[in-house]
């Protein structure tokens, strides 16, 4: 049986139309463990074929490997996708105009394309005013190398300052039942300004999928234990206890836990597009099904009750990366 078409959403009122669920490609470059290239490309092709046409990468993912992989996957298929990449997370100073131009040219080479549809500032550069960085990004729009501009992990204040220089089409932010911080100030600002929200890590970096039921299920050498305090020994048991409440709710509803987690994000509004990632074909279709049938409002309300803002234990990032967040 052919799956139902994926519903469509627009990335902000001025942005491109995409599948209601996009694809975050970071995990295809070994971030969470080994990834097979042939299977990764098969997953990307299956996502595009199903209507998940927004592909999200960054120059930092696998130190350029991710962009190269996507470039190989898109040979002959460039026009089938809305392609987004990001720059500026590796070090301070990368928001300077010359660095912005250099980063894009390198990304275009790795991707094998002449333009990207969305170009994000991955993290705010503390040494360069955001207005200066965005003006340099706007010059790339005028040059035809970029179609739309985005920001990632910025405050409402920074969004307003950037938007005054050049329209920001979309903001990318971690957003899930475990990470509801955008609801405090950012989401109201995006809606006031007419900016879309792309929700990364909508499955809580795997903690909301049901794959891990106890701390022992996560390998001791898993990178998440080092990079993300919510997976550290001091917080993981607490967070898994919270997740088990959702697992029980999913079992009663007869749905996979990931279906609930993604359905909750989709229910936040038509201006929100989650971008779960997976290395496995078997997980892709389950993720996309969340967009085909909206979650029952009673289940959304129960998830709101189970996961009030701030309920997760631990910071989202370890200190070295946390300092790059614009709070």
3-state secondary structure of 261: helix
* Partners of 152 in beta bridges: 172
| Residue 61 is among the residues annotated as catalytic for this protein | yes
287 vs 290: CA distance, rounded Å: 6
Q: Which of 245, 246, 252, 239 is nearest to 264 (CA)?
A: 246
Question: Can you point out the beta strands (E) in 169-325?
Answer: 170-174, 196-200, 272-274
Distances in Å between the Cα of 116 and the Cα atoms of 138, 170, 246, 277 are 13, 14, 38, 20
238 vs 91: CA distance, rounded Å: 33
Given 61, 119, 212, 231, the catalytic residue: 61
3-state secondary structure of 179: strand
131 vs 136: CA distance, rounded Å: 9
In the block, tokens 């089409």 appear at 169
Give me the active site residues, please.
Answer: 61
């Amino acid at each position: 049986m052919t799956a139902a078409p994926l519903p469509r959403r627009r990335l902000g009122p001025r942005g491109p139309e995409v599948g209601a669920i996009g694809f975050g490609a970071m995990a295809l470059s070994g971030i969470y463990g080994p990834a097979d290239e042939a299977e990764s490309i098969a997953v990307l092709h299956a996502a595009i074929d199903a209507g998940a046409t927004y592909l999200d990468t960054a120059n930092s993912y696998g130190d350029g490997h991710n962009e190269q992989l996507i470039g190989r996957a898109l040979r002959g298929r460039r026009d089938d996708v809305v392609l987004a990449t990001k720059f500026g997370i590796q070090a301070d100073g990368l928001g300077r105009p010359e660095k912005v131009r250099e980063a894009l040219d390198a990304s275009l080479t790795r991707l094998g394309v002449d333009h990207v549809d969305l170009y994000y500032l991955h993290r705010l550069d503390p040494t360069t005013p955001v207005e200066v960085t965005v003006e340099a990004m706007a010059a790339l729009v005028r040059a035809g190398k970029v179609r739309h501009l985005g920001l990632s992990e910025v405050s409402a204040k920074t969004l307003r300052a950037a938007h005054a220089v050049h329209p920001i089409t979309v903001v990318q932010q971690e957003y899930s039942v475990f990470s509801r911080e955008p609801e405090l100030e950012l989401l109201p600002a995006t809606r006031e300004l007419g900016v879309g929200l792309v929700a990364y890590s909508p499955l809580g970096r795997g903690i909301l999928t049901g794959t891990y039921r106890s701390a022992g299920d996560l390998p001791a050498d898993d990178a998440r234990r080092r990079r993300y305090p919510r997976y550290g020994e001091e917080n993981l048991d607490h967070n898994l206890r919270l997740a088990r409440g959702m697992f029980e709710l999913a079992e009663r509803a007869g749905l996979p836990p990931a279906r609930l987690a993604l359905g909750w994000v989709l229910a936040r509004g038509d201006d929100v597009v989650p971008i779960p990632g997976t290395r496995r074909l078997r997980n892709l279709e389950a993720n996309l099904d969340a967009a085909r049938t909206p979650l029952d409002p009673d289940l959304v309300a129960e998830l709101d009750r189970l996961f009030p803002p701030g309920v997760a234990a631990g910071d989202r990032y370890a200190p070295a990366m946390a300092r790059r967040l614009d709070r």
